[in-house]
């Protein structure tokens, strides 16, 4: 019974950690683009990085709602998968 109660907490924390990691990576990439002398063969436009950060913030909010018990785990992870696919499509230039 105790394990069943802790599953949404753990899954919500995992979702929030994935989101924070993605925000960190996008922030680091933006910093490398603008404030270092590293030459990249391919660069994402700034708007793609900002959209990825916004999608990650939305994903973190969904994880917080799972953590609080306001959103079902299955629905939250389905939305996270949709957000990841949307971000991937934006990254490769389809959208």
Of 52, 58, 12, whose CA–CA distance to 28 is shortest?
52
pLDDT (tens digit per residue) in 38-72: 999 999 999 999 999 999 999 999 999 999 989 99
State which residues form the domain around 80. 2-92
- What CA–CA distance (Å, rounded) separates 4 from 40? 47
Q: DSSP characters for 34-91?
A: HHS-PPPSS---HHHHHHHHHHHHHHHHHHHHHHHTSS-HHHHHHHHHHHHHHHHHHH
Residue 55's pLDDT is 96
Tokens of 91: 């990254």
| Structural domains of the chain, count | 1
Residue 1's pLDDT is 65
The mean pLDDT of the chain is 92
Would the pLDDT of 22 be above 70? yes
């Amino acid at each position: 019974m105790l394990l069943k109660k802790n599953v949404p907490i753990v899954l919500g924390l995992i979702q929030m950690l994935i989101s924070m990691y993605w925000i960190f990576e996008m922030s680091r990439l933006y910093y490398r683009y603008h404030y270092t002398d590293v030459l990249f063969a391919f660069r994402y436009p700034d708007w793609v990085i900002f959209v990825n950060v916004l999608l990650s913030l939305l994903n973190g909010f969904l994880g917080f709602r799972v953590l609080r018990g306001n959103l079902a785990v299955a629905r939250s992870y389905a939305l996270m998968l949709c957000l990841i696919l949307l971000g991937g499509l934006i990254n490769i230039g389809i959208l």
